Structure 1
Amino acid sequence: MPLHHNSDYSIGKTSSIDIRLLSIFVTVVESGGFTQAQEPLNIALSSISTYIQDLETRLGIKLCNRGRGGFSLTENGQVVYAEACKLFASVDQFNANVASLNGKLTGELKIGILDNSTMSPNTRVQDVIHRFSAQHPDVHIIIKVLSSDEIEDELSAGTLHLGIGLFSDAGKHLRVIHRFPISVDLFCGYQSPLFTEDTIDIEAIQEAGYAKGCYAPDMKSPLAQSLPPATASSYLSEGLAFLILSGRYIGFLPRRYAANWVSNKEMRTLPQELFSHEVQLALVVRKGEHVGPVLHTFLESFAAFTASD
């Protein structure tokens, strides 16, 4: 989408003031609004508003809507945000590349993970981070907990370096570095009528409320055909667990994630021979992206770590 700007303003005239204002703008967007941005920016609400107005004046365009309807970006604001993210990513990459010339890694490593993806015993990313951060303490590691769709979107936008999630079509835009199998079961909560049943069959399952989440089987699979239509959903495990514990819904969760609730008799595993299955988490990067020294070194560390298993 083209950026419509005032003819008196040129991107070629970008100054240190513009960089500062763009940084504030990016923080506002990523915080979800002016009020939420006060803490990370450590400046007053009135000052944030003034800075954004200054940026809009310098660019000659309106970037965002604010008021009773809440905070939202205009179409031009979305373009400026995306370009600003690219700008700051390029600056970070420049700093990292220059620092690497003397053998020192600096900069940021941004990782997006699906919540509770560490529940797989085969996910070794936390161990790689342990070794990597010990060897390269000046690299600032940022972890964002997101849905798989959000991880894919942020990888495409260049605001993440790598991600861990469930990607049904990973080969199209993403390069898979490694896969981690994770065991998934179907659960009911202690308030569900199924919790005290001695025998549970397909008919009983089909009469229950069903909450769909990211660990559900593929809709085309035979397993999915035995499930009732979803009447609730959450694509983060914490939300799905909340629905299951209400007793009104059954749903799929990683086995290790639900283990404490099962041992405390707050959840029950429904017949594993009927409903248990395995999904494949994937560690991915954006396909075709230039891999800078920080990401390259991290991926090398990951390859060395997994090869030693």
Structure 2
Amino acid sequence: MRVSGSDLRLLTVFDAVVRNGGFAAAETELNISQSTISNHMTALEQRLGFTLCQRGRGGFRLTEKGRATYESARQLEKALQDFTADVASVRGELKGELRIGILDAIASDPANRLAEVVAEFGQIAPQVKLVLVQERPQDMQQKVADGLYHCAIGSYRNRIEGIEYDRLYEERHSLYCSRSHPAFSTSDAELTDARLAALPFVHRGYWRDEDSLRQIDWRVEATVYQIEPQLILIRSGRYIGLLPDHYVRQEVGAGELRAIRPSEIGYVCTFELLSPKNRRTSDIAQAFIDTVRAVWGREGPAFRVLSDRSASAATWSEPARR
């Protein structure tokens, strides 16, 4: 199948339908009627030779082939955006889209200087459209390697091939409980490993057991995949869990949370800039990467490229990554 301009228009409709979860929901974004959307989808299915989605009283649902086509369409869209940016670079312009992945719960960290980077990059490339995506830790590295993101800022113990890692800063995590938890009014001396092991613990599902359970045999009774829901569960008074210190500084100051044995239990995450190693970097992406390095390089330790090497910064018992 050779993709034509009309195919791209049909794929744009398909993309909007999938992102909005159905024809009716995509109506407002596309500014066309449901019947027209349906006609476009039928035309695309005829062009491809298979059914993309099930629609009807049971609701909208992608078929297996529909899911595969959607992923390919996303790759095509990113490639077209990168082509547009490359052509602009040939003309001497920084224009196009820059896609950046980040982890959750980082805005409150004074060591995170991404806002400063964005401000400076805006002076260098005011016409570039930024797409900043909060991504799951387990997905971000591969998406940088695959080119879905031009770069990302995150924390990982395990490296993958094809990624270059630039050390930026560190983030400390400690074990916390809320005011309504029985451990809140118990001294650290009384909260032995054995007592802590008996308390319900909220676990981040992307941690491997051999890492996150290294020091204490935690009694895992809840699982989350982001830090905000983890904080909610700890606030409930039912669970203890590990959180970034900066993220809960205000609640600790207000007496709503307390750290348990902070000098003994916790870990340090090393945050790094992730960028493709073996693929040509666009002028836009390189300008952003250079800005990150310049901003973080002004203070503190000199930059150190970790390219595909495992470097643990753990100082207590836990893995040195989110």
TM-score category by the smaller chain? 0.7 to 0.9
Structure 2 residue aligned with 1:113: 102
Q: 1:257 aligns with which of 247, 253, 261?
A: 247
Structure 2 residue aligned with 1:86: 75
Matches within 5 A, 1:1-309: 11-12=1-2, 14-67=3-56, 71-198=60-187, 199-213=190-204, 219-220=209-210, 224-309=214-299
Deviation (angstroms), 1:42: 4.1
Q: Which structure shows the higher helix fraction? A: 1
CA-to-aligned-CA distance 1:100-131 (integer Å, 9 cap, x gap): 23322111111111101344433322211110
Call closer, same or farther: CA 1:196–1:154 in 2, change over 3 Å: same
In structure 1, distance between residues paired with 2:32 and 2:17: 12
In structure 2, distance between residues paired with 1:190 and 1:38: 48
Q: Secondary structure at the match of 1:130?
A: helix
Contact residue 119 and residue 254 of structure 1 kept, 8 A: no
Contact residue 219 and residue 225 of structure 1 kept, 8 A: no
CA-to-aligned-CA distance 1:156-178 (integer Å, 9 cap, x gap): 44322112223332243422133
Deviation (angstroms), 1:98: 1.8
Q: How many residues are paired up?
A: 297
Deviation (angstroms), 1:227: 3.9
Call closer, same or farther: CA 1:142–1:39 in 2, change over 3 Å: farther
% identical equivalent positions: 31
In structure 2, distance between residues paired with 1:15 and 1:223: 53
In structure 2, distance between residues paired with 1:165 and 1:32: 29
Amino acid at match of 1:53: T
Deviation (angstroms), 1:46: 4.3
Q: Which blocks of at least 5 consecutive residues in structure 1 are unaligned? A: 1-10
Contact residue 164 and residue 281 of structure 1 kept, 8 A: yes
In structure 1, distance between residues paired with 2:185 and 2:42: 61
Q: What is the aligned-residue RMSD (CA, Å)?
A: 2.5
Structure 2 residue aligned with 1:6: none
CA-to-aligned-CA distance 1:123-167 (integer Å, 9 cap, x gap): 322211110012211100011112112323433443221122233
In structure 2, distance between residues paired with 1:41 and 1:34: 10
Call closer, same or farther: CA 1:307–1:209 in 2, change over 3 Å: same
